[in-house]
Structure 1
Amino acid sequence: MALARLGVVVLDCPDPRALAGFYAEVLGGTVEEDPKDAGWVDLKVPGGPSLAFQAAPGYVPPRWPAADHSQQFHLDLTVDDLDAAEQGVLALGARPLDAEDRSRSFRVYADPAGHPFCLCAC
């Protein structure tokens, strides 16, 4: 028996609204803001867990790969077409972190706030 259930994955970032918008374009879903809390934005993803974005003054993005600036966590996003998904996330402001090996079934990027994420072929 589990002791808890996963409520939401929260990403610290400098601009919660902007990063929620980025992931809404990548994953779909609805961005919801709480008028009482300007530092928090939720993304309700259809058929999946929600993501939340929290303002973090002085935010410093992780570096990938770097043992001294650990990525701490990353998102694996499953896609049908790696090339098409790559063009889409790059157009939205993602940047490639590992472009050398194009033969793998995944590719690594940073979102606009610097969080690593992977596009993974299904």
Structure 2
Amino acid sequence: MALAKLGAVVLDCPDPRALAAFYAGMLGGTIEEEADWIDLRLPAGGTLAFQAAPGYVPPKWPSPDASQQFHLDLTVEDLDAAEKEVLALGAKVLEADDRKRTWRVYADPAGHPFCLCAG
């Protein structure tokens, strides 16, 4: 049994609305807006999301020394239990724990960021 299911793939960008419209033009789907956050609900299932990033610098590809600037949101039933399991697997905490939030931020063993989100 899997520990989590993929909630969304999130892209940082300077203009979430414009980037969501670009991807909706290619992939179809329904755009749902919330402040500086946009969800693109895809017709075949899944979500591609876009968040405003002040000072955004586009990724360089291919470039072994530059960020690819995305993270995964992984939906879990129990944040505390999932946190224990991902830390045991080798994840590292990236942000100080805030028990009031519905998400927590970690890095995988290679340093890629991801969030565990309450489902």
**TM-score, normalised via structure 1 length:** 0.54
2:26 corresponds to which residue?
26
Check whether the contact 1:65–1:71 (CA below 8 A) recurs between aligned residues.
Answer: no
CA distances 1:63-119 after superposition (whole Å, capped 9, x unpaired): 01111114366xxxxxxxxxxxxxxxxxxxxxxxxxxxxxxxxxxxxxxxxxxxxxx
- Give the stretch that moved more between structures: 23-32 or 63-72: 63-72
| 1:10 matched residue in structure 2 | 10
Find the partner of 2:47 among 42, 45, 50.
50
In the alignment, the residues of structure 1 paired with residue 62 and residue 11 of structure 2 have an alpha-carbon distance, to the nearest angstrom, of 19
Q: Structure 2: where are the runs of 5+ without partners?
A: 71-119
The count of residues paired between Structure 1 and Structure 2 equals 70
Q: CA RMSD in A?
A: 1.4
What's the TM-score, normalizing by structure 2?
A: 0.55
Aligned-pair CA distance for 1:28:
0.5
- Please list every run of 5 or more consecutive structure 1 residues that lacks an aligned counterpart in the other structure: 74-122
Equivalent residue, structure 2, for 1:71 = 68
Selected match of 1:41 from 35, 38, 42 = 38
Identity of aligned residues (%): 74
Q: Which 4+ residue blocks in structure 1 deviate beyond 4 angstroms?
A: none
